Amino acid sequence: MRRLFTSESVTEGHPDKLCDYISDSILDYYLSKDKNARVACETVAGKGIIFITGEITSTVPKDNNSIEKIVREAIKEIGYDNAETGIDYKSCKVEIMLSEQSPDIALGVDKSWESKNEEKQVTEGAGDQGMMFGFACNETKELMPLPISLAHKLAKRLSEVRKKDEIKYLGPDGKVQVTVEYEDDKPLRIDTVVVSTQHKDGVEMDKLREDIKEKVINKVIPKELLDDNTKYFINPTGRFIIGGPLGDSGLTGRKIIVDTYGGYSKHGGGAFSGKDPTKVDRSASYMARFIAKNIVANKLAQKCEIQISYAIGVAKPVSVYINTFGTSTIPEEEIIQKILDKFDLTPRGIIDYLDLQNPIYKKTTNYGHFGKEELSWEKIVKI
């Protein structure tokens, strides 16, 4: 049986990703000075304005000037350094409206339900209710699905050729999409590649399309996956000059499928960027990926999806679910028991095991939160 599956990625200059990057930059700033900081920072980007909102509780004194400096530096790092690109880090307006974490939420995080009712040593509860998913499969060396893996690599390459001036006329904003044809659940070939990239005025589309195919697509996608029937749609509208927040507003947390598995696996719904690790939306999703990856890496299954769910203020998970899609080498019940025996799935247990209270989050923002070997939740251990 043959079927097609598509995933997309976006460049760091996409307005939503710009917002994610600003939020994670603020998070890193606070964690660098206070590892116990509680941060839930949201960014909105519009035409010439950046709006920062959310809740931050920290020993670091509130200083809007420092936050504004971080915001402007993040915009500069992405490449928005003049009005032609969509927003200028030097002249854009920055509005900051931050408050402290709700005491009702803090009540459950500071002292878990267990510490009040059962086990005194279980101190911190989950910062919210919800279900988080992790996934891994053996389609790529990083144990990620092939469509999202290639989409991220294309998006990253699109930014690299801009920053290195290999293609001098590109802007920071861009999107890519990869459609993979599967046969009996095995990747067979690339059916379609879509690239839409911001560019300067006056660029000929034939030249742009030739450059993108030669210097981006052919540098990323293995030749054996491309054939004469592969379709290419490069800037299919014929014009993409207005980009970034000038072309479309941006918002933190609006690219959660790009951040995870490209739709190949489920998502619980919670965003990652701008959230400190007491928020299980982020930390438990990282842990779920870590466990799923290691189940595949340890040859317990070829494909694995895990769900972990929590109740606000309660430390221990409400449930742990696993699906190996019929590929496991031992019963799934045994795999779940191995997980429960080996790993502490309380928020504090996850934070300590993955070392999540360090300022590491800016490097997670772009091109996916999974599949990057340098991140602690991507390491391989023996189960």
Backbone dihedral angles phi then psi of residue 102, each to the nearest 5 degrees:
-55, 130
Please determine, for residue 124, whether its predicted confidence score (pLDDT) is greater than 90. no
Question: pLDDT tens-digit profile of 31-77?
Answer: 999 999 999 999 999 988 999 999 999 999 989 999 999 999 999 99
46: how many CB neighbours lie within 10 A of its CB? Answer: 17
Please determine, for residue 107, whether its predicted confidence score (pLDDT) is greater than 60. no
Structure tokens at 105: 């939420």
3-state secondary structure of 20: helix
Please determine, for residue 365, whether its predicted confidence score (pLDDT) is greater than 80. yes
Residue 327: Cβ-neighbour burial (10 angstroms; 0-12, 13-18, 19+): middle
Question: pLDDT tens-digit profile of 264-277?
Answer: 999 999 999 999 99
Please determine, for residue 110, whether its predicted confidence score (pLDDT) is greater than 80. no
Asked if residue 210 lies in contact with residue 235, where contact means CB atoms within 8 angstroms, the answer is: no
Higher-pLDDT residue of 306 and 101 is: 306
Element (H, E) at 146: helix 146-163
Question: pLDDT tens-digit profile of 231-267?
Answer: 999 999 999 998 889 888 999 999 999 999 999 999 9
pLDDT at 16: 98
Element (H, E) at 49: strand 49-57
Distances in Å between the alpha carbon of 100 and those of 27, 103, 297, 360?
Answer: 14, 8, 41, 22
Domain ranges in the chain?
A: 2-10+146-243, 15-102, 130-140+253-378
Asked if residue 383 lies in contact with residue 310, where contact means CB atoms within 8 angstroms, the answer is: no
pLDDT at 106: 58
Asked if residue 31 lies in contact with residue 174, where contact means CB atoms within 8 angstroms, the answer is: no
| % of the chain surpassing 90 pLDDT | 85
Entry pTM: 0.94
pLDDT at 65: 95
Architecture in CATH for domain 2-10+146-243: 2-Layer Sandwich (3.30)
Contacts of 164 (CB under 8 A, 6+ apart): none
Best CA proximity match to 285, nearest among 268, 262, 302, 303: 268
Instruction: For domain 15-102, say whether CATH 3.40.140.10 is its number.
Output: no
Best CA proximity match to 216, nearest among 175, 263, 186, 187: 175
Best CA proximity match to 349, nearest among 339, 360, 359: 339
Contacts of 193 (CB under 8 A, 6+ apart): 154, 176, 177, 178, 179, 217, 221, 230, 231, 232, 233
48: how many CB neighbours lie within 10 A of its CB? Answer: 14
> Helices then strands (H, E): number in the chain?
12, 13
Any idea which of 103-112, 173-182, 208-217, 282-291 has the lowest mean pLDDT? 103-112
Instruction: Report how far residue 252's alpha carbon sits from residue 80's, in angstroms, rounded to the nearest whole number.
Output: 17
pLDDT at 120: 55
Concatenated DSSP letters of 67-111: HHHHHHHHHHHHT-EEGGGTEETTTSEEEEEEEPPPHHHHHHHHS
Instruction: Report how far residue 143's alpha carbon sits from residue 127's, in angstroms, rounded to the nearest whole number.
Output: 29
Question: pLDDT tens-digit profile of 6-15?
Answer: 999 999 999 9
Instruction: Report how far residue 44's alpha carbon sits from residue 81's, in angstroms, rounded to the nearest whole number.
Output: 18
- Which CATH entry fits the domain spanning 130-140+253-378: 3.40.50.300, 2.160.10.10, 3.30.300.10, 3.40.50.280? 3.30.300.10
pLDDT at 108: 54
Backbone dihedral angles phi then psi of residue 3, each to the nearest 5 degrees:
-150, 160
237: how many CB neighbours lie within 10 A of its CB? Answer: 8
Query: Are the folds of 2-10+146-243 and 15-102 the same?
Result: yes
Question: pLDDT tens-digit profile of 304-363?
Answer: 999 999 998 889 999 999 999 999 999 999 999 999 999 999 999 999 999 999 999 999
Question: pLDDT tens-digit profile of 295-315?
Answer: 999 999 999 999 999 998 889
pLDDT at 102: 66
Query: Which band of pLDDT confidence, cut at 50, 70 and 90, is reported for residue 105?
Result: low
SS3 assignment for 296-321: HHCCCCCEEEEEEEECECCCCCCEEE
Distances in Å between the alpha carbon of 134 and those of 21, 110, 323, 340?
Answer: 22, 26, 11, 15
pLDDT at 128: 81
Mean of the per-residue pLDDT values for the chain?
A: 93
pLDDT at 81: 86
Q: What is the mean pLDDT of residues 115-125?
A: 64
pLDDT at 12: 96
Asked if residue 13 lies in contact with residue 243, where contact means CB atoms within 8 angstroms, the answer is: yes
Q: What is the mean pLDDT of residues 97-125?
A: 66
Backbone dihedral angles phi then psi of residue 127, each to the nearest 5 degrees:
-75, -5
Distances in Å between the alpha carbon of 317 and those of 131, 163, 243, 281, 294?
Answer: 9, 44, 42, 13, 20
